Amino acid sequence: MTIYLDHAATAPINDLAIDAVAKAMKNLGNASSVHNHGRAIRKDVEDARHAISELVGSAASEVIFTGSGTEANNLAIKGFYWKAIAGDPRRKVIVTSAFEHHAILDPIEWLVAHEGAEQILIPITKTGFIDLEFLADLLAKRGSEIAVISVMHSNNELGTLQPIAEIVKLAGDIPVHTDAVQSFGKVSFDFAKLGVTAATISAHKVGGPLGVAALVLQRGIDLVPILHGGGQEREIRSGTLNAPAIVGFAAAAIHAVDNCNSNFAKVRELRDYFIAELKKSVPDCVINSASDPALPGIVNVTFPGTENDAMLLLLDSEGISCSAGSACSAGVPRPSHVLVAMGLSEETADASLRISIGVTNTKAEIDQVINILPNVIERARKALEVSKLA
């Protein structure tokens, strides 16, 4: 029996999405073609766009489909930066949090290295939230130089929900983007009510197919594209639309949002049960993730005296899948920048795991993990002791 506790990396695709994708794949046509076949595919795409827009709280024309959340984040960061400096060369500052996903941090680092941008990181409190006072002070001093502010709606390693509406109020006329990939479908998210300029959402986090996501972008804003060759999506994103995946995205999103409250309650109950039993089973463990406001299922925990790479291998040998942080950084031997940003040492970060529970998990699975963990931790500690003696 295998147990999947890595739902923050990707969620199992649900049956509704599978059926929707399978049906759509049988339909022939390119959504950009003007003949009957093409118009039929275009209708499927626009129906899906409309459905997603209603779920996310935006206009249909504000939903721009992309191939991934990473692409959408790159489009937002680079697009807003290029737009800003074209209007005012002084606006070279990009502000983001110190614990953003690498899909935000890496394009900013590229702009710093290649385009002369300046990056300013908002510090993180010890409880896993951004320092709003730092941001307010920064805006008062250097607001006229800022091209864009990007802060994730919820942190992918801690689950903490960030004060996006307050950031928007502080920002004034400065564009605000939020990476809502982890949040959409799991907690309440309303694009219009938040007032953000742009937001990123992705299908595979809500039980949809891989390879499709969206940048939700306010009407009347044109960004410099990062892909050219057709201008299919408001001339901001080119490329033949993946109609079956888009249809599957909509089906999964509808199911996730319709069941958001009940799913939240179930997953939160499992998470709280897991933490309570874990503290009994491994008394010296340290929970790094906050309870509220937070996503329902993410548990970030430190097991002192271990290294997470050994823990992951040992758990995997027992049929248990979890992670040491973002899946996009998997295989990179470095401590979690998220935990380090919170003030944890690199040694502590290296001894930490992210366990992300989803709606498909059961109490019996949690019990099995709790039963297995003490032995795994003991073996990991012995392995670390041996490696230090070598």
- 15-258 has which CATH code? 3.40.640.10
pLDDT for res 311: 96
pLDDT for res 332: 55
Lowest-confidence range among 3-7, 30-34, 98-102, 293-297?
30-34
CATH topology for 3-10+260-389 is Aspartate Aminotransferase, domain 1 (3.90.1150)
Once rounded to an integer, what is the mean pLDDT over residues 95-107? 97
Once rounded to an integer, what is the mean pLDDT over residues 46-70? 98
Instruction: For residue 132, name the pLDDT band (cuts at 50, 70, 90).
Output: very high
Structure tokens at 6: 């890595």
Measured over the CA atoms of residue 320, residue 104, residue 254 and residue 38, the dihedral's sign is negative
**pLDDT at position 82 over 90:** yes
pLDDT for res 206: 97
The C-alpha angle with vertex 152 and arms to 271 and 331, in degrees rounded to 5, equals 70
Is residue 328 annotated as a catalytic residue, yes or no?
A: yes
229: left (phi > 0), else alpha (psi -120 to 50), else beta?
left
pLDDT for res 387: 77
Instruction: For residue 328, name the pLDDT band (cuts at 50, 70, 90).
Output: low
More confident residue, 15 or 329: 15
Once rounded to an integer, what is the mean pLDDT over residues 43-51? 97
The residues spanned by each domain of the chain are: 3-10+260-389, 15-258
pLDDT for res 333: 57
Question: Active site residue: 260, 285, 322, 328, which one?
Answer: 328
Lowest-confidence range among 186-195, 261-270, 333-342?
333-342
**pLDDT at position 329 over 70:** no
**Per-chain mean pLDDT for the chain:** 95
**pLDDT at position 385 over 90:** no
Q: Please write the tens of the pLDDT for every residue from 150-168.
A: 999 999 999 999 999 999 9
